[in-house]
Amino acid sequence: MARKTAPSERDAPERFNEERATYTIKGSRPDLEAGVAAIREVLATLPPRPGVYRMQDARGDVLYVGKARALKNRVANYTQVDRLPLRLQRMVSRTRSMTIVTTNSEAEALLLEAQLIKRYRPPYNVLLRDDKSFPFILLRADHAFPRITKHRGARRAAGNYYGPFASAGSVNTTINALQKLFLLRSCTDSFFSRRDRPCLLYQIKRCSAPCVGRIDEAGYGELISEAKDFLGGKSGAVQKKIESQMQEAAESLDFERAAMLRDRLRAATFIQGSQAINAEGVGNADIFAMATKNGQVGVQAFFIRGGQNWGHRAFFPSHTEGLSEEEVMESFLAQFYEEVPPPRLILVDRALPEAELLAEAFREGAGGKVEISVPQRGDRRRLIEQARRNAVEALDRRLAESGTKARLNAELAEFLELAEPPQRIEVYDNSHIQGAQALGAMIVSGPEGFIKGQYRKWNIKSAQTNDDFAMMREVFQRRFARAADEDPDRDGGTRPDLVLIDGGKGQMSAARDTLEEMGIEDVPLIAIAKGPHHGREGREVFHFPDGREKMLPVNSPLLFHLQRLRDEVHRFAIGAHREKRSRAITASPLDEIPGIGPARKRALLLHFGTASKVRAAALEDLKRAPGVSAAVAQTVYDFYHPRG
């Protein structure tokens, strides 16, 4: 299924006409009159054409992204403030400029709107709060013996993509079963080319070992064809074929082959038996149901492909206050399919006013007509009811977790003597080995949990020795200097309400002194260190800036919460350090030569053997290396022999 390409201001400028209108409003406090005046200025030049508009505040930050069939008519509504709900009145009062993008159709406007919402994350739009891409199964098509692998992100590699799967766990389980069922290789091409004997996967009957000729290209191609049929919805036919082959092998007394086919049949049964819901007869479809409670919204999604349930996931859109459930669902679907290719059938639990427009917008990504349907009876209705029950249960769990987090934050504020419960907590740690490959790491926790899109890491530059305190000073200088530049008014939502430092008195002093030197005195600092017996969990000591120390009871839920924050920054810091160390281990001195790519580096190393010999080589020797031109040889020689 081809990935749809949403209209883009950057990629297809010829399709859009963008006009920017910016106005300076006197007075420091935004008000309704100023906002209406800015909108009226833009309204005077708006065409009655479809398009997308962005409303921006005095700093140029996007407040809202909207689409319209006729821009002039839609934007005019914002000047009639008495008819607007309070939420939109607040938005208009903050508006100081608008950006207009015209499109060829309302469907194009809807796709562009979803794209811009994802890019700018405006505070007055419904936001799909999910920073993880969906995993797919990829059958590569760029090798004589295609490999099966998990794939995330842009779909640039040639091959067949199957998905989306709801989680990495579900796709990993399915790939493991598919390897047992079809004996497809999962190794990289370089690993494949170096083999002279089968690897362990062949021994445990999860690969047919094409790398060493245990199966020929035609036989492997038959396995690939069966895998495509199975993933494409023809699982019953594949099972019958394997059953028939197993019986033939048994009748011919080839019991070893019969046992192998029996194991493959069991793998097929496992894949089908692991489905949480019965979606037989549905084919390819996505199912969505919504639940609302206490002002919160939850959307449950089931992904059905080839009549098999490939997982389910709950979503909790934000900024939904003041909107109808239908509006929330429509905005959710538009943003959801901005990245995920839509199936030809989408089942929802309620009628949507703009269902036809959504279907038209999804047509290109689905490769044909898309149906958005509200089932009324039969198996499809039962699937919707099951999705709705799951949505209610997921929302109840979410609300219970939110209540627990709220209580913990209230206890945290009391324990750490904060004025109010923190909404944004930043946690810092350093990772290095005797000062080598040192880096600092920051994780962020908010009311909804970890905000992984705002995690940061810094390569330590000035403190190259084994000095944790100097590293902490550098991290804080760089973090808060940048915050001062990007958010001088401190209203961007990126200033922490609490900073936790993994360390003791020394790290606390380094961070405290650094912030004082920068003139920052309103950021609460706490250092969390293991107690006198480092191997015993629960004896953590909390160090305050004034030198005081506190401890929590061993079985305190608040202590568990703080330990989880510390463990998360440990995980992030150590993972980033390992990645940096791995790059350093595999790095070559030739990497420093500007303009020399991987192919030329490989040619030089193959010819001379080592980087030191390349460095010592004469110019004429460099020119004689295969694949190295005279110009490249001169570049390498000049790099190592600069002219005085």
Tell me what the pLDDT averaged over the chain comes to.
82
Q: Which residue has the higher pLDDT, 177 or 349?
A: 349
Q: Which of 382, 324, 364, 373 is nearest to 345 (CA)?
A: 373
Residue 16 has pLDDT above 80, yes or no: no
> At 348, is the pLDDT very low, low, confident or very high (cuts 50, 70, 90)?
very high
Residue at a domain's end among 396, 414, 445: 396
Cα distance between residue 235 and residue 269, in whole Å: 10
> At 14, is the pLDDT very low, low, confident or very high (cuts 50, 70, 90)?
very low
Q: Is 368 left (phi over 0), alpha (psi -120 to 50) or beta?
A: left
Token duo for residue 418:
């904060």
Q: What is the pLDDT of residue 55?
A: 94
Range 117-124 contact pairs with CB under 8 angstroms and sequence separation of 24 or more = 117/65, 117/331, 117/335, 118/335, 118/338, 118/339, 120/54, 120/62, 120/65, 122/54, 122/62, 122/63, 122/64, 122/65, 123/63, 123/64, 123/319, 124/55, 124/63, 124/64, 124/87, 124/88, 124/91, 124/319
Residue 326 has pLDDT above 90, yes or no: yes
For residue 127, is it within any domain? no
> At 13, is the pLDDT very low, low, confident or very high (cuts 50, 70, 90)?
very low
Contact, 292 vs 318, CB < 8 A? no
Residue at a domain's end among 96, 120, 144: 120
Same domain, 432 and 559: yes
Q: What is the pLDDT of residue 556?
A: 87
Which range of 129-138, 151-160, 327-336, 444-453 scores highest in mean pLDDT? It is: 327-336
390: domain CATH number is 3.30.420.340
SS3 label, residue 555: coil
> At 632, is the pLDDT very low, low, confident or very high (cuts 50, 70, 90)?
confident
Q: Are strands 136-140 and 159-162 parallel, antiparallel or unpaired?
A: antiparallel
Same domain, 168 and 104: no
345-348 β-sheet, strand order: 308-315, 296-305, 285-293, 345-348, 371-373
Same domain, 28 and 76: yes
For residue 405, is it within any domain? no
Token duo for residue 269:
């049964």
Q: What is the pLDDT of residue 588?
A: 64
Q: What is the pLDDT of residue 489?
A: 66
Q: Which of 44, 45, 57 is nearest to 98 (CA)?
A: 57
Same domain, 387 and 456: no
Contact, 134 vs 352, CB < 8 A? no
Q: What is the mean pLDDT of residues 563-580?
A: 86
Q: Which residue has the higher pLDDT, 273 or 605?
A: 605
79-113 pLDDT per residue, tens = 988 888 888 888 999 999 999 999 999 999 999 99
Cα distance between residue 330 and residue 113, in whole Å: 12
Same domain, 145 and 89: no
> How many domains, in total, are found in the chain?
5
Q: Are strands 425-433 and 498-502 parallel, antiparallel or unpaired?
A: parallel
For residue 565, is it within any domain? yes
> At 15, is the pLDDT very low, low, confident or very high (cuts 50, 70, 90)?
very low
For residue 155, is it within any domain? yes
Q: Which residue has the higher pLDDT, 581 or 377?
A: 377
> At 625, is the pLDDT very low, low, confident or very high (cuts 50, 70, 90)?
confident
Q: Which residues of 109-133 are buried (b: 16+ CB within 10 A; e: fewer)?
A: bbbbbbbbbbebebbbbbbbeeeee
What count of other Cβ atoms lies within 10 Å of the Cβ of residue 577? 20
For residue 408, is it within any domain? no
Q: What is the pLDDT of residue 9?
A: 45
Contact, 245 vs 254, CB < 8 A? no
Q: What is the pLDDT of residue 23?
A: 35
Same domain, 384 and 430: no
Cα distance between residue 107 and residue 4, in whole Å: 13
Partnered with residue 291 across adjacent β-strands are 298
572-616 pLDDT per residue, tens = 988 887 877 666 555 566 667 777 777 777 778 778 877 778 888
Contacts of 263 (CB under 8 A, 6+ apart): 180, 205
Residue 54 has pLDDT above 90, yes or no: yes
For residue 67, is it within any domain? yes
Q: What is the mean pLDDT of residues 237-263?
A: 75
Q: Lowest-confidence range among 2-16, 87-101, 267-281?
A: 2-16
Residue 144 has pLDDT above 80, yes or no: yes
Same domain, 76 and 206: no
Which range of 225-229, 329-333, 340-344 scores highest in mean pLDDT? It is: 329-333
Q: What is the pLDDT of residue 97?
A: 92
Q: Which domain holds residue 300?
A: 285-396
SS3 label, residue 311: strand
Q: Which residues of 388-409 are buried (b: 16+ CB within 10 A; e: fewer)?
A: bebbbebbeebbeebeebeebb
507-559 pLDDT per residue, tens = 899 999 999 888 888 889 999 987 665 545 557 889 999 888 888 888 888 99
Same domain, 195 and 223: yes
Integer CA distances (angstroms), 188 to 185, 265, 403, 463, 601, in order: 9, 27, 46, 38, 22
Phi, psi of 451, rounded to the nearest 5 degrees: -105, 85
Contact, 366 vs 344, CB < 8 A? yes
Same domain, 452 and 598: no
Residue 260 has pLDDT above 80, yes or no: no
Q: What is the pLDDT of residue 449?
A: 82
Phi, psi of 72, rounded to the nearest 5 degrees: -60, -45
Inter-axis angle of helices 235-251 and 255-273, to 10 degrees? 160
Same domain, 561 and 525: yes
Q: Lowest-confidence range among 221-230, 306-315, 336-345?
A: 306-315
472-500 pLDDT per residue, tens = 888 898 898 888 777 766 666 678 899 99
Same domain, 334 and 365: yes
Percent of the chain with pLDDT over 90: 21
Residues in the chain: 644
Residue 403 has pLDDT above 50, yes or no: yes
199-212 pLDDT per residue, tens = 888 888 889 899 99
Q: What is the pLDDT of residue 442?
A: 92
What count of other Cβ atoms lies within 10 Å of the Cβ of residue 383? 22
Contact, 91 vs 63, CB < 8 A? yes
Contacts of 588 (CB under 8 A, 6+ apart): 601, 605, 611
Same domain, 175 and 92: no
Q: Which residue has the higher pLDDT, 491 or 412?
A: 412
| Biggest CA-to-CA distance, the chain | 92
Which range of 91-95, 175-179, 312-316, 575-579 scores highest in mean pLDDT? It is: 91-95
For residue 595, is it within any domain? yes
Cα distance between residue 370 and residue 361, in whole Å: 9
Cα distance between residue 76 and residue 40, in whole Å: 8
For residue 626, is it within any domain? yes
58: domain CATH number is 3.40.1440.10
Q: What is the pLDDT of residue 405?
A: 84
> At 435, is the pLDDT very low, low, confident or very high (cuts 50, 70, 90)?
low
Q: What is the mean pLDDT of residues 167-184?
A: 80
Cα distance between residue 386 and residue 539, in whole Å: 46
Q: Enter the DSSP assignment of 452.
A: G
Q: What is the mean pLDDT of residues 118-133?
A: 80
Residue at a domain's end among 72, 90, 120: 120
Phi, psi of 129, rounded to the nearest 5 degrees: -80, 85
Token duo for residue 610:
């080592």
Q: What is the pLDDT of residue 440?
A: 87
